[in-house]
Every structure is written in structure tokens, then in C-alpha cells.
Structure 1
Amino acid sequence: MNNGQADYISVEIIDDLWVQDRIADLIPDHGKIMHMYIISDTYEQLAHIHPTRTDDRNVFKAKMPPFDNGTYHIYMDITHETGFSHTMTNTFTYNTENTIYDPTILIVERDPDDSWMLNTIEDRITWKGNRPPYNAGDDIALHFKVSNNGKPLVLEPYINMGGHAALLKKDRSVFVHLHPIGTISMASQEMFQENYTQGVLDREDICFFGFADDSTGNYFNSNTSPNGEVNFPAIKLGTPGNYAIWVQVKSAGEVITQKFDFEVIL
């Protein structure tokens, strides 16, 4: 869709139970009502964006990233008031010459935390101990270090976390949105951990980089990782195939995104 100034992506939840208000409404996770990953069919381009909910509670809109024409797969994470979170998926074809013109679309400002990767030349992130191929069922350690010309970069929170990662099997049968605390959404975690709801920490103060000594006390004085390291929980992948993982961190106000390809065998 295009309003004469920019291309927009619009998604609508059409599930019957949702439309009939028989499913609990949504709550923000990391301060966002929806986290959307857009991944090109070639796996070369990725965006992590945050659509805005419109007056129609079923519809969400966001400015399109500056992507090439092509086929894209979208993965949309939402969290309900019950704490239940899940991922919706879809596929679309993007062609800047064939977008639907709709002058009634209100201008939606891009979320300041939106980020994207247009190529695979980034090399500032190192996957420590990466030794593919992995056997199905192996514990795959996800330890990463970020540096520039051999010097560690100081990492700062990105959307209230030390890092984000998106893992996708190349046949698209597996998608996981990872944080250093795991796959659970922060909103869900807060609902089940009383220390986050009784004044120990405000939501804006939480930031984990995945270190063994991570605790609430670490984040009152410094929300950074000075050694450039961020860790995610080890994962087990039970089905063989080719996978990609995109790791996202933030340093000096810049979101750094890097893709790693690996294989899982029997």
C-alpha cells in the first residue's frame, strides 16, 4: 500500500475467535504491541519492525523497509492479556511498481527501534565456538562477541534486552525469536515473576545479556555489556536441514544485524 509518500505493510487478524472478541486482547511486549520479522525468500534481507495498531483493532500498519522487490515471509509475535504469546506467519510479494495507492492512509511514523539488514556483508559479530554441522539434538551454544577492528564494542540495550535473534529453518518449518532470557516474551515473564511486578524493577529497567551472574541487581547502575558479549540459551534442533540465525545487538546507538548459516545433520 502507498499513500503517495511511502509504502506501507498492512496486516489484519481474521481469526474467527479473535474477530468475535472471544480471545483476550493484546498487551505490549518490550513496549511493542507487535514484533514483526520480514525475511526475504533469498534469506539475504531481514527487517525487525514494530507495526502500529490502527483504530480497527484487527489491523496493524508499518512503513516498509527499503527492500528490493521480491517474495518475503513475515513472522509476527504477539502477546495476549493472559500471558499467552504466539507467532503468526504469512508470505507476500513486494513490487514497488504495483503497490495499492490509498491516499486515506494516515502517515505512520517509523518506530525508532525498527531495524533491517539489506545485505550480508556485516562481520562485526563473531559466533564463539561455532562448529557446524551439528547433530540433531545437540546443544547448540549461542555465545556471541561484537568487536570492531579487534576491539570489543560496548553493547547497550536494544528494545530492553541485551540482544535479539531470529532463527529460521530454510524450509520455513521452524522459526524462533530468541532473547538472552530465552523464547518467552518479556510481558509473559513479568506476569509470572512477582519480582517484576512488585517494584523490584520497572519494565524499562530490565536488560539481560545472558551472563551467568545476570540478576536484577546488575541493572541499576549499568545497562551495558562492556566486553561486547551477549549470550542466548543453548538450543536443540531435532530436525536436520539448513538453518540461518540473525543476531541483533546495539552499540553507540547503532543496531548491528548479522546472519549466520549452519547445518543440522542426523
Structure 2
Amino acid sequence: MKKVLLLWGLVLFAWSVQAHVGSSGVVLQGKAGEYRILVNIQPPDVIPGTANVTVYVENGGATRVQARPIYFRSGDEGAPTYDMLEAVPGQLGQFQGIVWLMEGGSSSVQLVLEGAKGKGEFVVPVVAVSTAERDMPAGLGWMLTALGLLLLVLLVTVIGASVSDGVLRAGQSLTTPQKRKRYRNMGIALVACLLILYGGGSWWDSWAATYKRYLYKSLDAHGSVVDRDGQRLFQFKIDTTDFNSKRGSGYLSYLVPDHGKLMHLFLVRTPGLDAFAHLHPERTDSTTYQSYLPNLPPGKYLVYGDIFSYSGFTETLTDTIDIPELASNHTEIKKTDPEDTYVVTDPLNKPKQVPLDENVVVCGQPGTRTTLQDDSYVVWEGKANQVFEAGKPLSLNFAVFTPESKPAILQPYLGMAGHAAVVRSDGSVYVHLHPIGTVPMAAELSLKNRIADTARVFKRADSKIFRDSIDRHVAMLKQMPEAERESYLMQEMGMDLGADSTAHAGMEHGSVVSFPYAFPKAGQYRIFLQIKRNGRVLTGVFDARVTDPVL
């Protein structure tokens, strides 16, 4: 047991930027000392590159905000100096600026605020990866080519003149030997310049090929549904073909749990987004995860599987699968994990087109009352028929009431006040939200531990020992009584749902759950809200319309 705890101490250095698809921005809400802030970071798609940082100071009167990057491998000892963020004219409490991210992989942005309430610090985990290539505009390319040819001609001419014309006196002309010497040296200069250009071009092509090789590409994974004693068993297998070029040997042995689970799996039926499941598959080997399916209706499903590396690198595995009809002669469906849940709702743009039963809810909208499975209800705070603006950070506030219309007391679910999955109608955007934003609280706390460590390079444990310790830890959590497990997870993440001393907004114990987020692009979205009351996980479904920003 001591070995397990020792290795788990290493895992505390792991931090995870919340997984996503099509939503690269990081939105995080919390407290920097006495300052309540909302941070929005748009990382670059090319490394090295600049991340755009926006800080909204909601209280405290901060007058000075600084930011710097900190990389997981080098820690605080290898971090550069702070850059000043500029106050936005006419926007009280809003600061903007850029931070250079020079290294790829797990990193963070450390903020320091100063003002009327003293000094406060805040850490925002960020994944820095190259996901794009920059193409040179055609006009610029032709202009640079013409200038290059001109410089080549001038250089060759100057070299030729330096070995011939320089020996002439006034009124003299070149002799035949001198002309031959001139042309010979010009030829040598031309060949030398062409060889230099060829070498430079080859070096550039080699560098570009290496860049393309390590250009970030999500891991390939393939889902399937097999029959296991009359039950539908979902299997998710990670493709390790050419794996070393993507992540390196042993990568999958260094996965760590988030909220006590090695994988968070979301299934959403397409095209109507009318069936949803949040499952937690078990790891059978380093590449395969499996979970029994609940009573989901048959159809084609979008698959999103979140996994987390010890270094903080977080990925979402995606696929599309066909789920067959469940055999009618089975009355009891097996559960792989006690927190596995599902819900059925009305199809997108076809309200109330589904028969009601205990696992069916009617989809809601901003400003409306939406009934949950236990007859409690949720009000998404906002105006009726509200339309949201893409790219604008906002807070999605959900107030929960008992069937008697009293504020409901929520229980922690997987160590937090609530969870939400956001999916765009075409599946191109997916994000798993928490009340602090797109990043779990464990991420910030783990980064603080890494910053406090003076080691320039983080050393990882033996892969087999590491993986075995993680498997034992996850199994231990699974065997705990529910209340004890939730308490353990909250303590592990540094949470205190009942205290004002928490470093994060939106985590206070009560009836309202808030999720900071910025919709990345225009379109129609569906939000699956998950909370817990009286020992039961409840899922509410809501639709949102998002338009392009008004310029």
C-alpha cells in the first residue's frame, strides 16, 4: 500500500487540460488571492507561437496583471520572466495580452494580479501543440523569389568584378586572360551560391518534414459492440500502428485517472442527439477499454473518450459506431461502473417527439423550466429564446429545484458539483465541462505542485510499476462506499464544496451550478447537464443557438 501511495504522489504532479474536440480555447474561473477572475486563453495552432490571454477581474480592483508560461518538464526554474497584460480601454477590469509558448506539450500560464486587495496568483493549464501549417501567400512568394534572383545576380557580378576590374587602371580594358579569370570566378561563385541554396532548401525540406511528422494528430481508436452473454459490451481499442511517431513508446502506460476514472466515455446518438450516455470503461490492457452498454436505443452514435496522461496531456478519442437493438428477453442490464448513466430525449428540432419513462427527459432552453427524472426541475438562467455569440466567454447557470419548488441541495458527483457535455449538432464540437470551466480543478493544483518542485526535468517512474499502481488505485476507489469515494475525490482535488475559501467560483454547495464556457463557432448545440440528488445521477438536456460574433 505504501508503494501505491508513493507512486500516486507522483501522479499528483499530473495535470490534465480538459479534453475537447473543435474547441481549443481554455476558459477557467476562480480566485487569484482576493480577486475573483475569469480567464480565457486561445493557444496558438503553431508552436512556437503566441497565446492570446484575456483576464476579466470581477471584483477587487486589480490594476496590474502579469503572465508567463511554465512548462511541465522544466517547471518554475526554467520559466521566463513575466509579460504585462494591458488594460482594455473602456472595459473595466479587463486585461489582454500575449504569452509566447516556445515548447510543445503540457504547459501552463501563471498569472499574478496586484491591486487594492494585495497580490494574488493563478495557474491556468494549457496544452501547446502544433495543429496547423502556415502557407506563404503566393504574391509574397513570387516577390521573394524575384528578390532572391536579383541578389544572386548581384552577388555573382560583384565577385566577378572583384577579381578582375579591381586590377585595372584608368582607361585600361580587360585582357583575354583577365576576362577568362573573371568568367571562371563568376562561374565558381554561381556554383557555390547554388550549392548553398540547395543545402538551405534541403535543410528546410527536412525541417518541414520533421514538423509534419510531429504535427499533432489525435490517436486513432475504434469502437465495437459485441455480445457478451446476451449483454451489449462496448469495446474501445486504441490503434498503436506507427504509435511511436505520435506519442512515444510506453505512452499508454502513463495514463492517470481524472475524477477517479481512467476514461470518461460519452455516446451521443446522431443525427438527432436524442440519446446520451456517460460511461466509465475498464482498462483490460494498455490499448483496450470496455464497458457494458445501458438500455440505449439502437442507432448510430458519436463516440468521445477522454484519457489523461501523467504529464497533463489530455486527448479525446473519437469514433462512430452502430449500436444494435437490445435483446428483449433480458430484464437486468449489467453496469460496469456504478456512476454509468444514460438518458433519452426528444430529437434536435423535433420537440416532444418521444414517449416518457423514467429515463426520458424533455429538452429545455434558456429561461425555461425543465423537469428531471425524479420530478425535480432545472431552470437555465437567461432570457427565453436567448441566442449566444461565438467566442464570447459566458457563464451557463443552472438552478435546480425540488418538486416542491424549493432550492435543491446537490450532492457531489465524481467529486464536483456537476458535469456538462456540450455537443454541436454535427458532432464537430465536443467539450466536457466542470463548474470551474474547461479545466478540472486537479489540473491547477497539480501545476502548483510542479511549480513548487525545483527539478528542471520531471522524471517518470517505471511504466509497468506506474500502470499497476494506477490500476490498483482505481480499483480501490471503485470498491469504496459512495459517500466515502466522493469525499476522497474532493479532498484529492483540493475541493471544499461547503466553504468560501475555495479557490474557484461556481463550486459553492447549493442549488445553482455554473459552467464558464465560450462556444467556439456558430451553430446549434445541445448541452447535457449532470447532477446528483438523493444518491441518484440526474441528466438534463438543453438546446442553445449560437451566432457569429457581431463586428
* Equivalent residue for 1:3, pick from 228, 236, 244: 228
In the alignment, the residues of structure 2 paired with residue 239 and residue 68 of structure 1 have an alpha-carbon distance, to the nearest angstrom, of 30
1:240/1:11 CA distance change after superposition, 3 Å: same
SS of 1:189's equivalent in the other structure is helix
TM-score by length of 2: 0.41
> What displacement does 1:188 show?
3.4
- Paired with 1:17 and 1:75, the residues of 2 have a C-alpha distance of 20
The 1:180–1:262 alpha-carbon spacing in structure 2 relative to 1, beyond 3 Å, is same
Instruction: Kindly state the Cα deviation for residue 248 of structure 1 after the two structures are TM-superposed.
Output: 0.6
Q: TM-score, normalised to structure 1's length?
A: 0.82
Q: Note the aligned Cα RMSD (angstroms).
A: 3.2
How many Å separate the matches in 1 of 2:488 and 2:261?
16
- Give the structure 2 partner of residue 251 of structure 1: 533
Assess if the C-alpha contact under 8 Å between 2:282 and 2:289 holds in 1: yes
Aligned partners of 1:22 and 1:170: how far apart in 2? Answer: 36
Deviation above 6 Å: which 4+ runs of structure 1?
Answer: none
SS in 2 for 1:193: helix
| Gapped regions of structure 2 (runs ≥ 5) | 1-225, 328-333, 346-360, 363-369, 372-376, 454-486
**Which has the larger helix fraction?**
2
What's the CA shift for 1:82?
Answer: 0.8
Shift of 1:231: 1.2
What is residue 12 of structure 1 aligned with on the other side?
237
Corresponding residue number in structure 1 for 2:86: none
Aligned match of 2:17: none
The alpha-carbon distance between structure 1 residues 144 and 109, as it changes in their structure 2 partners (threshold 3 A), is: closer
Residues 490, 496 of structure 2: 8 Å contact kept: no
Aligned to 2:279: 49
Say which of 303, 308, 318 aligns to 1:89: 318
Query: What is the CA–CA distance in structure 2 between the aligned matches of 1:208 and 1:166, rounded to whole Å?
Result: 23
**Cα deviation digits, residues 74-105 of structure 1 (max 9, x gap):** 1111100111112111100111379xxxxxxx
- Answer yes or no: is 1:229 the counterpart of 2:512: yes
Please tell me the residue identity of whatever aligns with 1:114: D
CA distance in 1, matches of 2:489, 2:314: 18
Name the counterpart of 2:336. 110
Q: Which amino acid aligns with 1:170?
A: S
Q: Which residue, 211, 215, 222 being the options, matches 2:502? A: 215
| Residue equivalent to 1:158 | 413
Give per-residue Cα distances to partners, 1:107-129, cap 9 Å, x unaligned.
x8520111111233362111112
The residue number in structure 1 matching 2:394 is: 140
Match for residue 434 of structure 2 among 174, 179, 185: 179
For residues 160 and 2 of structure 1, the distance between their equivalents in structure 2, rounded to whole angstroms, comes to: 33
Residues 262 and 280 of structure 2 are in contact (CA less than 8 Å); yes or no, is this contact kept in structure 1? yes
The answer to whether the aligner puts 1:239 opposite 2:521 as a matched pair is yes
SS in 1 for 2:444: helix
Relative to structure 1, is the Cα distance of residues 151 and 237 closer, same or farther in structure 2, using a 3 angstrom cutoff?
same
CA distance in 2, matches of 1:185, 1:118: 27
- C-alpha deviation, 1:23, in angstroms: 2.5
Distance in 1 (alpha carbons) for counterparts of 2:324 and 2:514: 37
Q: Secondary structure at the match of 1:66?
A: coil
Give, as a single letter, the amino acid of the residue that structure 2 aligns with 1:66: N
Q: Give the letter aligned to residue 512 of structure 2.
A: E
Deviations 1:118-167 (A, max 9, x none): 23336211111255212223333211111123112110110011100001
Deviation, 1:11, is 0.4
- Structure 1 Cα separation of the partners of residues 293 and 441 of structure 2: 26
Which runs of no fewer than 5 residues in structure 1 stay unpaired? 99-107
**Which of the two has greater strand per residue?**
1
Is 1:125 the equivalent of 2:378? yes
Name the amino acid aligned to 1:52.
E
Q: What is the CA–CA distance in structure 1 between the aligned matches of 2:431 and 2:313, rounded to whole Å?
A: 16
Q: CA deviation at 1:9?
A: 0.2
Q: What percent of counterpart residues are identical?
A: 31
CA–CA distance in 1 between the matches of 2:314 and 2:428?
Answer: 18
Q: What letter is aligned with 2:379?
A: T
Q: State the one-letter code of the partner of 2:339.
A: D
Q: d(CA) in 2 for partners of 1:70 and 1:217?
A: 40
Give, in whole Å, the separation in 1 of the partners of 2:417 and 2:500.
14
CA distance 1:263–1:217, change in 2 (3 Å): closer
Contact 2:411–2:532 (CA<8 Å) still a contact in 1?
yes
Superposition deviation, residue 170 in structure 1: 0.7
In the alignment, the residues of structure 2 paired with residue 27 and residue 137 of structure 1 have an alpha-carbon distance, to the nearest angstrom, of 31
Contact 2:282 2:336 in 1 (8 A): no
Query: Which residue is equivalent to 1:101?
Result: none
Aligned residues between the structures = 247
Which of structures 1 and 2 has the bigger CA Rg?
2
SS of alignment partner, residue 227 of structure 2: coil
Give me the whole-angstrom Cα distance separating, in 2, the residues matched to 1:79 and 1:137. 26
**Does structure 2 retain, via aligned residues, the 8 Å contact 1:126–1:145?**
yes
Query: Distance between the aligned counterparts of 1:3 and 1:180, measured in 2?
Result: 37
Greater displacement, 181-190 / 133-142: 181-190
CA contact (8 A) 1:28 1:187 kept: no
Return the letter of the residue paired with 1:229.
V
Q: Which residue of 2 aligns with 1:103?
A: none
Tell me how far 1:22 sits from its aligned partner.
4.8
The offset of 1:181, in angstroms, is: 1.9
